[in-house]
Structure formats: structure tokens, C-alpha cells
Amino acid sequence: MISMLEEKKSSGNPYPMSWEEQAILFPELPDHLLRMALHKVNTGCREQEVCKLRWD
């Protein structure tokens, strides 16, 4: 079960995910989130560039 952490305590400096971290995380994601995560890891885009896009 995943529990939410408080923002102030859990926020740390961003860092590149290791291959081991990716191997653990990616199989757990649903398909639509997996594609977003792969794009983010491979391009280095910020959250708003990946998650907050709108078709206008």
C-alpha cells in the first residue's frame, strides 16, 4: 500500500533515476502513466511540460 508523505518532509533535490529504480517503478505503472514516465525520464522535461498539456 502506498501512503502519501508530507510535501515539506519528502521534497528533496531531483536526480536522474537509476536503471534499477526504473526497473522497479515502470512495471507497476498503468500504461498511460508508463508512457508519460518514459517520456519524462528520456527527455528530462519538467512536470508541467508532461502532465499539464492541454489540447486547445
Q: Domain range for residue 30?
A: 17-51
Cell reading at 45: 522535461
Whether 6 is covered by a domain: the verdict is no
Q: What is the structure's pLDDT at 7?
A: 59
As for how many domains the chain has, the answer is: 1
pLDDT digits (tens, 9 = 90+) for 1-56: 777 766 565 556 777 788 999 999 999 999 989 998 888 888 888 877 777 777 77
Whether 38 is covered by a domain: the verdict is yes
Claim: this prediction has a pTM higher than 0.75: no
Whether 33 is covered by a domain: the verdict is yes
Q: What is the structure's pLDDT at 48?
A: 78
pLDDT digits (tens, 9 = 90+) for 20-31: 999 999 999 999
Whether 3 is covered by a domain: the verdict is no
Whether 5 is covered by a domain: the verdict is no
Whether 40 is covered by a domain: the verdict is yes
| Contact predicate 14/26, CB 8 Å | no
Whether 1 is covered by a domain: the verdict is no
What single DSSP character describes residue 29?
S
Q: What is the structure's pLDDT at 16?
A: 79
